[in-house]
Amino acid sequence: MNNFEALSLPPKLRTKMSEVRVRFAPSPTGPLHIGGVRTALYNYLFAKKTGGKMILRVEDTDQTRFVAGAEEYLIDALRWCGIKLDESVVDGGQFGPYRQSERKEIYLPYAEQLVRNGFAYYAFDTSEELTKMRERMKAAGVPSPQYNAITRTTMQNSLSLSVSEVKKRIERGDSYVIRIKMPRNEEVKLNDIIRGWVVVNTNNMDDKVIFKSDGMPTYHLANVVDDYTMKISHVIRGEEWLPSAPLHVLLYRYLGWEEKIPEFAHLPLILKPDGNGKLSKRDGDRLGFPVFPTEWTNPETGDVSSGYRESGYLPEAFINMLAFLGWNPGTSKELFSMNELCESFSLERVGKSAAKFDFDKTRWFNQQYLRAKSKEDLAKDLQEILKQNGVVANDDYVGKVCEQLKERATFVRDMWEEGKYYFVAPTSYDEKTIRKKWKEDTSNLLSEFKNRIEAISDFSSENIEKEFKSFLEENKLGMGKLLPAFRVSLTGLGMGPSLFDISSLLGKEETIKRMETALEKIN
Ligand code: GLU
């Protein structure tokens, strides 16, 4: 990034384009990483906020990096996140096709136009010749040799060879690429919405290949041609693309499209939780949390990387967390539904500095959304888990269980793991509670209290509690004398939600049965 001089002028959102059209343009080279989902999200939020269109373009020009299933993966992942597309490989649209490999014929005429106008040239160098050039330059003290205004004069290209030689080579089918002819010592400027003015001198840029020998454009040419032909108004993408932006600006200029150059917004990096380096795909599950929205199975190795969906995260929580990785609303409000994000989002409130990923915060978001869910919705999710565990219970009962447990849970599965006793009577009893709280007179007291319970006609939580308290009072006992024993006999555990609520929900018959079993087993 040292090539760049980012001036701190606050950029103004120019409004020269009437319709906002943004695109998320992933390359299907593997699963979509958290950073990619955030890019998609910010594009989506910006489109919604401005009444614009959200486009998905699959950038698959690099056939050597094709990964089976990656495109399907990203479409499914975006759907799970609630990021809706207006135009895409699935939804179609008037600017299609939306897969670059299907737009193949579009690019060559533009590359040739650049050659004709003196902005690009054919290069015939073999990989051995390129290696030799690099070695030569290194030996001459150039640490990172490039194909540029200096080295191009010594290479096999249409600037160094005669017109007839170039013609001959092309006609006999020699393999060639097309490179941009980077001018000497020119300043390229762009006003990034997030970073302000970015200025780079072309002396620090190389003659990038824009069209490859396999008949495909490279990312740079395809990206610019597609953004232009798809009428993209704003390019919102990760900071790793900032070094390419000046080249894109030049391509716009050389293709005669300077008037239509989109606005740029390069999003800050997402760092590992300790702030040490970028959170990368390779981090997989190594750091103890998923880096992918949904589970991914590597088609070659069969290795499975976990996803937020399969780990039990709610898409609302995942999205809320992601929105805050780089953006903030300027208030202390933290919980934003997708609709609220669409209303509140602005690129001006996206920070320049990298955002540290905070896994605990992600769990916190999930907890908040879980609590906010209706008992009916939660019951539906919990029923899935119950089914997997061979438990049959009616929706109404499951909903009430969820109501009692949701405050204590981070994931739906916690309600099963921590609340099995709502569905299955305990088979063992927490040893520590027994050791500390089941004293000599406990069995007698519990048994007496059981008789009192039998007489309650309306088995509500309040009535059980009332009866419990008067029993303690009559016997001059403190809470700690009987409550833990009562709890362990119903749940097998030492802790949990209100025991009177649990007992009422289990019902009188089940409560008594469990007390009797505990009285038999404990002692
Ligand atoms: N295909 C590029 C990627 O994989 C797109 C970069 C851009 O948005 O221009 O991220």
- What are 259-279's pLDDT values in tens digits? 999 999 999 999 999 999 999
What mean pLDDT do residues 422-451 have?
A: 96
Triad 407, 408, 414: Cα angle to 5°: 120
- Our mutation pick for probing the ligand 1 site, out of 32, 219, 264, counting the most ligand atoms within 8 A of Cβ, is 219
Six-digit token pair at 241?
A: 């693309």
d(CA 93, CA 97): 8
Question: How much is the pLDDT for 345?
Answer: 98
Six-digit token pair at 100?
A: 């670059």
Longest dimension (CA), the chain: 112
Confidence of residue 175 (pLDDT cuts 50, 70, 90): very high
- What are 190-206's pLDDT values in tens digits? 999 999 999 999 999 99
Domains plus CATH for the chain?
17-89+219-372 (3.40.50.620), 374-420 (1.10.8), 431-522 (1.10.10.350)
Question: How much is the pLDDT for 286?
Answer: 81
Q: At how many degrees (to 10) do helices 34-50 and 70-81 cross?
A: 50
What mean pLDDT do residues 121-141 have?
A: 96
Among the atoms of ligand 1, which is closest to the Cα of residue 39?
A: 8
Six-digit token pair at 228?
A: 């232009």
Question: How much is the pLDDT for 5?
Answer: 35
Q: Which has more pLDDT, 406 or 18?
A: 406
Question: How much is the pLDDT for 13?
Answer: 43
- What are 204-258's pLDDT values in tens digits? 999 999 999 999 999 999 999 999 999 999 999 999 999 999 999 999 999 999 9
Q: What percent of the chain has pLDDT over 70?
A: 97
Six-digit token pair at 7?
A: 């001036």
59 within ligand 1 shell (Cβ under 6 A): yes
CA of 273 from ligand 1 middle (Å) equals 24
Question: How much is the pLDDT for 159?
Answer: 97
User: Atom 10 in ligand 1: which residue has the minimum CA distance?
Assistant: 26
Find where tokens 């919604």 sit.
48
Give the 3-state secondary structure of residue 457: coil
d(CA 117, CA 255): 9
Q: What percent of the chain has pLDDT over 90?
A: 92
CA of 298 from ligand 1 middle (Å) equals 21
Please report how many Cα atoms fall inside a 13 Å half-sphere around the Cα of residue 335, on the Cβ side: 10
What mean pLDDT, rounded, does the chain reach?
A: 94
What mean pLDDT do residues 385-395 have?
A: 97
CA of 241 from ligand 1 middle (Å) equals 7
Among the atoms of ligand 1, which is closest to the Cα of residue 219?
A: 1
Total-model pTM: 0.90
All residues at 6 or more sequence positions from 405 whose CB lies less than 8 Å from its CB, including other chains: 414, 415, 418, 419, 422, 497
Output the CA torsion sign for 135, 137, 139, 141. Answer: negative
d(CA 324, CA 38): 9
Give the 3-state secondary structure of residue 336: coil
What mean pLDDT do residues 307-327 have?
A: 96
Identify whether 469 is a catalytic site residue: no
- What are 49-104's pLDDT values in tens digits? 999 999 999 999 888 888 989 999 999 999 999 999 999 999 999 999 999 999 99
DSSP letters of 228-256? HHTT--EEEEEGGGGGGHHHHHHHHHHTT
Question: How much is the pLDDT for 186?
Answer: 97
> Considering 281, 375, 420, 450, which one is annotated as catalytic?
281
What mean pLDDT do residues 470-480 have?
A: 94
Among the atoms of ligand 1, which is closest to the Cα of residue 27?
A: 4
Start-end of H helices in 215-353: 219-229, 245-254, 315-323, 338-344
Residue 15 has pLDDT above 80, yes or no: no
- What are 328-360's pLDDT values in tens digits? 999 999 999 999 999 999 999 999 999 999 999
Confidence of residue 22 (pLDDT cuts 50, 70, 90): very high
241 within ligand 1 shell (Cβ under 6 A): yes
What mean pLDDT do residues 487-492 have?
A: 98
237 within ligand 1 shell (Cβ under 6 A): yes
Give the 3-state secondary structure of residue 111: helix
What mean pLDDT do residues 463-492 have?
A: 96
26 within ligand 1 shell (Cβ under 6 A): yes
Confidence of residue 288 (pLDDT cuts 50, 70, 90): confident
Which residue type occupies 165? Answer: E
d(CA 180, CA 120): 4
CA of 472 from ligand 1 middle (Å) equals 69
Q: Quote the DSSP letter at residue 287.
A: T
Confidence of residue 284 (pLDDT cuts 50, 70, 90): low
CA of 219 from ligand 1 middle (Å) equals 8
Residue 6 has pLDDT above 60, yes or no: no
248 within ligand 1 shell (Cβ under 6 A): no
Question: How much is the pLDDT for 16?
Answer: 45
Pick the closest to residue 220 from 234, 209, 235, 233 (CA basis).
209
Confidence of residue 17 (pLDDT cuts 50, 70, 90): very low
Peptide bond into 183 cis (omega under 30): no
